Structure 1
Amino acid sequence: MLEVLHVTFPFFALVLCGFAAARLKLLPLEAISGLNGFVLFFALPCMLFRFGAGTPIAQLLDAGVFFTYLFCALVLVAFSIAVSLNGRIRWNDASLGALVAAFPNTGFMGVPLLVALLGAQAVGPAIVTIVVDLVITSSLCVALSRMDAAGEQGTVVAARKALAGVLRNPMPWAISLGAAFSYGGWALSGPVNATVGLLADAASPVALFTIGAVLARSQMLSHERPHGPLRMGDYLPVALIKLVLHPLLVLLVGLTAIQWGVPIEPFALQVIVLVAALPSASNVSLLAERLGADNGRIARIILVTTVAAFFTFSGVVTLFQA
């Protein structure tokens, strides 16, 4: 366990640094959007491209991993919405809550953390989960979030907007371009490759620092929420679903799929279970704010899962190494 904490501690410490910088006003809240933009549009795409280009194409097109992880994501979304819907939490809030329950922080935190723990071979399965979460899970939850007042036509419009958002997200394009380079055996020219490498190397520390700053900003602005006092029952069950049910479901479904003859490598199953054990994706808070959901609730779920994952994620890693 101590050896695992030696690896995981720096990642969570950087999140804490970002949180402290925002809380102590060393980092202006207005600057957080700039950091987020740098990570999302420059550093992270370069990191994903580099990993994708260096990963065998067969790992990036692993259908067993794709459909196993997708099935678990759909079950988790349905279950989270079912347990969340009530007189106060309607489709918008329940759907965005389901997204934080099913969408791990794989891009900003998971890929560099898994590479540090398991080596570069962990990239392939992790990238497959990113594609599922960005393209399918996010689009589904955004479409479902419009069901309160939009009706069937509004839901279709929301689905189209969600798909448009996916197309504008640089991460799927970076993964696709990296996969094309992997398949073709191509390589960037020296100066271009060096530039991409510099941006890729900046992705992990800046992304982790930004996660902390985003969480601090959400907590600092939580008093402005128009939904009344936040109850523990509004966010704690979803946090438990994310940290406990999600990895357990992926493990059980993956083992069952292997028993039925689905070609999933044990190492790939380990990777996607660890992905599921990650805390919730911090960018869902920005999405919730844009869609008019209860961002205080979403931010609290993300904060709880991020703090608790230092122990729960390290515990899952220790169990695999036992």
Structure 2
Amino acid sequence: MEMIAGVAIPFFAVLLCGYLARHLKILDESGVRGLNAFVFWFALPALLFWKVSESPFERLSDPSFYLVYEGGTLFLYAAVFLAMRWGLRRTRAESAIVAIGASWGNVGYMGVPLLLAAYGTDQALPAVIATALDSIVMQTLTVILIESGGGDRRTGILGVARGLASNPLILAVLAGFVVAALDLELPATLVGFLSILGPAAGPGALFALGATLTGGLGLRRDYGMAAGMIGAKLLVLPLLVFVILQFIPLPPRLVEPTLITAALPTAASVFVLAQRYNVLERPVALVVFASHLLGIATLTGLLVILQF
């Protein structure tokens, strides 16, 4: 509990700063959107490019880890998307945001430090690789679904292609994947630039998320949806990964870290996407906040179970 709380409490502290800034009128609505624009267009692309480009390509292309971790997340993503789209009759964009909120964990800012503290450098690899895989697969899929969702956006292959080509997160991930595939070494000056700009993505997104929590959290019908997202992320996804592991084994030293990675709370990056596309912003903010609060208990319980 103490180890997990040590990772989670700074998360809530930054979130509280954003809440107070908005509540005390230090930051207005346009300021919140400006901060989120900085994260979306500059800080988060820098972070994604940096992390993906430095990931070992043999791990990025490892079919076993794809099938175990990303297979579980994609299965859950598809199930949630179809339930929202055809069961609850929500829009394609809303369904995609709920699906990624139920399946994209905070692997970068919580998973990596948690696994480092619990298992050491070598066994923290699942969280590092999951950062790249989720960015490449889940984020790209979500943007495609939103961009092709109609409304006042151009639909069709050309419209979707234009949307993807203008999305800095997708471009950053693709560029990082190419660098990793070619095994290129980034210049020291570029690494220095990325190491300054990239880490601003986490606190920036959390600060904006905290500011969003000062208002209402959306329609009452969204509360049940938010609870379902939290349950899916904290309980269903690790159970899915556990079941898949019974059929597709990983090296024993990576089994426990992979399960913990699957059980992480919803990433703040989901809120960045929600606000960028003006889709379920406040419910997603609630999900990110509450999943981290509840995640302290669920992750502690999982760590205790894995000790036996």
**TM-score normalized by the length of structure 1:** 0.76
Measured in 2, the distance between the counterparts of 1:13 and 1:154 equals 43
Deviates more, 1:76-85 or 1:141-150: 141-150
Note if 1:281 corresponds to 2:267.
yes
AA aligned opposite 1:281: A
Q: Which residue of 1 aligns with 2:132?
A: 131
Deviations 1:7-42 (A, max 9, x none): 222221111111221122287463744873674255
Aligned residue pairs: how many? 297
Q: Rate the CA distance shift 1:99–1:316 in 2: closer, same or farther, 3 A.
A: same
Question: Secondary structure of the residue that 2:248 maps to in structure 1?
Answer: helix
Q: Rate the CA distance shift 1:289–1:138 in 2: closer, same or farther, 3 A.
A: same
Question: Secondary structure of the residue that 1:130 maps to in structure 2?
Answer: helix
AA aligned opposite 1:64: S
Contact kept? 2:45, 2:169, Cα under 8 Å: no
Q: Rate the CA distance shift 1:125–1:219 in 2: closer, same or farther, 3 A.
A: same
Q: Which residue of 1 aligns with 2:226?
A: 235
Note if 1:217 corresponds to 2:211.
yes
AA aligned opposite 1:36: V
Q: Rate the CA distance shift 1:112–1:176 in 2: closer, same or farther, 3 A.
A: farther
Measured in 1, the distance between the counterparts of 2:268 and 2:221 equals 19
AA aligned opposite 2:239: L
Q: Rate the CA distance shift 1:215–1:292 in 2: closer, same or farther, 3 A.
A: closer
AA aligned opposite 2:8: F
Deviates more, 1:304-313 or 1:129-138: 129-138
Deviations 1:122-150 (A, max 9, x none): 34333332233212222223333456546
Gaps of 5+ in 1: 259-263
Measured in 1, the distance between the counterparts of 2:38 and 2:276 equals 18
Deviation at 1:279, TM superposition (A): 0.9
Measured in 2, the distance between the counterparts of 1:271 and 1:88 equals 37
Structural RMSD (CA): 3.5
AA aligned opposite 1:247: P
Gaps of 5+ in 2: none
**TM-score normalized by the length of structure 2:** 0.79
Question: Secondary structure of the residue that 2:155 maps to in structure 1?
Answer: helix
Q: Which residue of 2 aligns with 1:143?
A: 144
Note if 1:78 corresponds to 2:96.
no
Q: Which residue of 1 aligns with 2:258?
A: 272
Contact kept? 1:135, 1:163, Cα under 8 Å: no
Q: Which residue of 2 aligns with 1:69?
A: 69
- Taking the TM superposition and a 5 Å limit, the aligned residue runs for 1:1-322 are 5-25=1-21, 28=27, 30=31, 32-33=35-36, 36=39, 39-42=43-46, 46=50, 52=55, 58-85=58-85, 86=87, 89-145=90-146, 149=150, 154=155, 156-157=157-158, 159-161=160-162, 163-164=164-165, 165=167, 168-170=170-172, 173-174=175-176, 177=179, 181=183, 195=192, 199=196, 203=199, 209-222=203-216, 228-258=219-249, 264-322=250-308
Measured in 2, the distance between the counterparts of 1:244 and 1:170 equals 31
AA aligned opposite 1:115: L
Deviations 1:177-218 (A, max 9, x none): 46755xx8x6966xx599479649x93xx5554453233122
